[in-house]
């Protein structure tokens, strides 16, 4: 495919129609594109449509005389790409229409040119009518599925609008400086010398936030392991973990390894770090990252709760359980979450989270600490899980997190999406009596 719009439509067809992972499908599509500008435009179209899917889809159905057939899903996605350009990008509307019509050739559907041309031109003419249609539906107005809007309004009555708005925004590019290589101040100077505007993050001592997004390949000394991409909220794991000078640390559900690397970057050689993840593919990404950063650790590809498959019966001073969750706090970075998640997933995930806690707690030394973390803003995956666990385990005591970020909850600390430009994140810390 030569047309960026047809590539975007193809990616969307796999993500929306077949439930594929956005990251994987987009990475595959990029294999044929070396030009960073082409990649950036394709990504803008794909991410934009996914962020605004619940706004664009009802408009498209209103414009079509009859629903498209399932076998024409790629054409439906192409029309959404066209609508997104018209409504959200600076491309002149009729130029966007013409380019989208041309993309029909890549799908071997020249007959569809008239349909695409007519539908998109009609969208331009009926812009006021379409805007009114959006305002009549909370789902379309917020660009979120109804169940998500309902839950966020119920759980965050004072912040729900800010959360939903943040989910639809472009997130900042935040970096973590490898303190074993250089200081944050030194790297800020490197960025300044190359004309890259950046500022130190407020809460993470190794964090840097870029003023404008940038391809990581253009970052100074990225390949040399001087810096990694990681949101500031995720960088706070080290502070909560209270890393000891020596001992043994387990990073459960570790891949792709951002928090693992941060632990190693902040520690001396006297620390033994063990990382485990059940995904061989994701563990491969972790190992690549460790090689780039020049870090060493013990890794296992296994289910962390299946102790017989990996544990050597030696207890840990610290455990970081970055539990599998809904990802509701990182939707702005992974907009396909809006399509892939269902309300019923929360209870299923809670069961998995509790299973991991129950399995890993016996591995902690007396006086040792376990940090439970999720990138979720749903209380059912956070405080509810901790409440049930603490009630069932007399040896578990909540160790309050004193911090000036996020807000205190019954058992931990919660950052909501967009708060101080951070992702949504939850941390709780338990100490073993």
Condensed to tens digits (0 to 9), the pLDDT of residues 223-263 reads: 999 999 999 999 999 999 999 989 999 999 999 999 999 99
Under the banding of pLDDT at 50, 70 and 90, the label for residue 152 is very high
Average of per-residue pLDDT across 89-118: 93
Would the pLDDT of 211 be above 80? yes
Per-residue pLDDT band for 178 (boundaries 50, 70, 90) equals very high
Q: How confident is the model at residue 150 (pLDDT cuts 50, 70, 90)?
A: very high
Residue 103 has pLDDT above 90, yes or no: yes
Ordered by start, the domain boundaries in the chain are: 4-139, 174-229, 232-432
pLDDT for res 56: 98
The pLDDT confidence band at residue 92, using thresholds 50, 70 and 90, is very high
Average pLDDT, the chain: 96
* Angle, CA 192 vertex, CA 187 and CA 195 arms, to 5°: 135
User: Whole-prediction pTM value?
Assistant: 0.95
Contact 229, 214 (CB under 8 A): no
Residue 1's pLDDT is: 62
**Helical ranges in 64-183 per DSSP H:** 73-88, 93-102, 113-125, 127-135, 138-142, 146-155, 160-167
Domain 4-139, what architecture? Orthogonal Bundle (1.10)
CATH topology of domain 232-432: Rossmann fold (3.40.50)
CATH architecture observed for domain 174-229: 2-Layer Sandwich (3.30)
Q: Convert the pLDDT of each residue in 369-395 to its tens digit.
A: 999 999 999 999 999 999 999 999 999
Q: Catalogue the active-site residues.
A: 375
Cα 302 to Cα 90, 255, 311, 384: the distances in Å are 48, 12, 10, 26
Q: Locate tokens 């290589």: which residue?
A: 181
Spatial CA neighbour of 393 closest among 361, 347, 356, 352: 361
């Amino acid at each position: 495919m030569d047309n960026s719009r047809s590539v975007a439509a193809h990616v969307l067809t796999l993500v929306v129609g077949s439930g594929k992972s956005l990251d994987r499908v987009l990475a595959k599509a990029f294999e044929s594109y070396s030009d960073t500008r082409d990649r950036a435009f394709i990504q803008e179209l794909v991410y934009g449509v996914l962020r605004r899917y619940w706004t664009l889809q009802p408009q498209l159905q209103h414009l079509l005389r009859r629903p498209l057939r399932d076998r024409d899903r790629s054409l439906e996605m192409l029309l959404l790409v066209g609508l997104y350009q018209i409504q959200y990008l600076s491309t002149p509307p009729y130029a966007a229409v013409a380019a989208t019509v041309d993309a029909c050739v890549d799908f071997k559907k020249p007959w569809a040119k008239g349909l695409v041309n007519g539908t998109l031109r009609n969208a331009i003419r009926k812009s006021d009518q379409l805007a009114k249609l959006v305002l009549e539906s909370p789902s379309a107005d917020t660009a979120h599925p109804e169940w998500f809007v309902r839950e966020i309004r119920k759980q965050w009555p004072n912040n729900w609008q800010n959360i939903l708005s943040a989910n639809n925004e472009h997130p900042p590019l935040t970096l973590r400086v490898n303190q074993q290589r250089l200081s944050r101040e030194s790297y800020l100077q490197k960025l300044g010398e190359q004309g890259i505007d950046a500022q130190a993050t407020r809460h993470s001592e190794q964090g840097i936030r870029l003023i404008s997004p940038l391809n990581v390949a253009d970052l100074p000394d990225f390949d040399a392991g001087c810096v990694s991409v990681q949101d500031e909220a995720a960088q706070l794991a080290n502070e909560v973990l209270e890393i000891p000078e020596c001992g043994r640390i387990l990073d459960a559900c570790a891949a792709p390894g951002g928090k693992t690397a941060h632990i190693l970057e902040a520690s001396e050689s006297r620390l033994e770090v063990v990382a485990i993840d059940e995904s061989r593919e994701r563990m491969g990404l972790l190992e690549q990252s460790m090689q780039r950063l020049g870090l060493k650790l013990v890794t296992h590809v296994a289910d962390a709760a299946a102790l017989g498959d990996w544990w050597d019966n030696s207890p840990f001073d610290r455990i970081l359980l970055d539990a599998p969750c809904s990802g509701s706090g990182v939707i702005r970075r992974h907009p396909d979450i809006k399509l892939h998640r269902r309300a019923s997933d929360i209870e299923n995930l809670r069961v998995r989270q509790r299973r991991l806690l129950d399995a890993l707690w016996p591995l902690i030394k007396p006086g040792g600490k376990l940090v439970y973390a999720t990138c979720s803003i749903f209380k059912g995956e956070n405080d509810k899980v901790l409440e049930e666990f603490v009630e069932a385990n007399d040896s578990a005591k909540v160790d309050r997190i004193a911090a000036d970020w996020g807000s205190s909850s019954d058992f931990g600390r919660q950052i909501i999406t967009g708060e101080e430009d951070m992702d949504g994140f939850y941390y709780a810390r338990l100490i073993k009596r």
